[in-house]
């Protein structure tokens, strides 16, 4: 891992998981493992805040789907908040919005007003 592409940070507190930084294919496997380790001890409803992500990729969508499956297997309710426009567009293109709670409520490029 080069200094120009550092690992995204994960913070878990009060049933909120935040991701900060760039999450591309180079870090996807590690990001998945670190997220699952944090979720392993959780209970109830979990919010994953995506507001501080600086990238969007199919690799990241894969990580989010893996976390969703991991949570479901442990009777956790996982919801994604603040997905960016690019991530929403990728999810819509792959027809994954309904598979990622929090994505289907927001449509890329559509102003709710």
Element (H, E) at 43: none
- Per-block average pLDDT, block size 10, for the chain (113 residues)? 70 96 93 97 96 94 98 96 94 93 71 46
Extents of the domains making up the chain? 9-99
CATH number of 9-99: 3.30.750.24
pLDDT, residue 109, reads 56
Query: What's the pLDDT score for residue 64?
Result: 98
What integer pLDDT is reported at residue 7 of this predicted model?
Answer: 87
Give whole-number Cα distances, 67 to 1, 4, 46, in Å. 23, 26, 11
Using alpha carbons, select from 25, 19, 17 the residue that is nearest to residue 51: 19
Measured over the CA atoms of residue 14, residue 20, residue 23 and residue 27, the dihedral's sign is negative
């Amino acid at each position: 891992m080069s200094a120009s592409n550092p690992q995204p940070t994960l913070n878990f507190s009060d049933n909120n998981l935040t991701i900060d930084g760039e999450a591309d294919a180079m870090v996807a496997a590690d990001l998945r493992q670190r997220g699952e380790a944090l979720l392993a001890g959780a209970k109830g409803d979990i919010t994953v805040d995506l507001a501080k992500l600086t990238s969007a990729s199919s690799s990241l969508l894969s990580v989010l789907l893996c976390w969703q499956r991991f949570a479901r297997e442990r009777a956790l309710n996982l919801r994604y908040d603040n997905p960016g426009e690019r991530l929403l567009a990728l999810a819509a293109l792959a027809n994954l919005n309904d598979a990622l709670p929090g994505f289907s409520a927001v449509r890329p490029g559509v102003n709710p007003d």
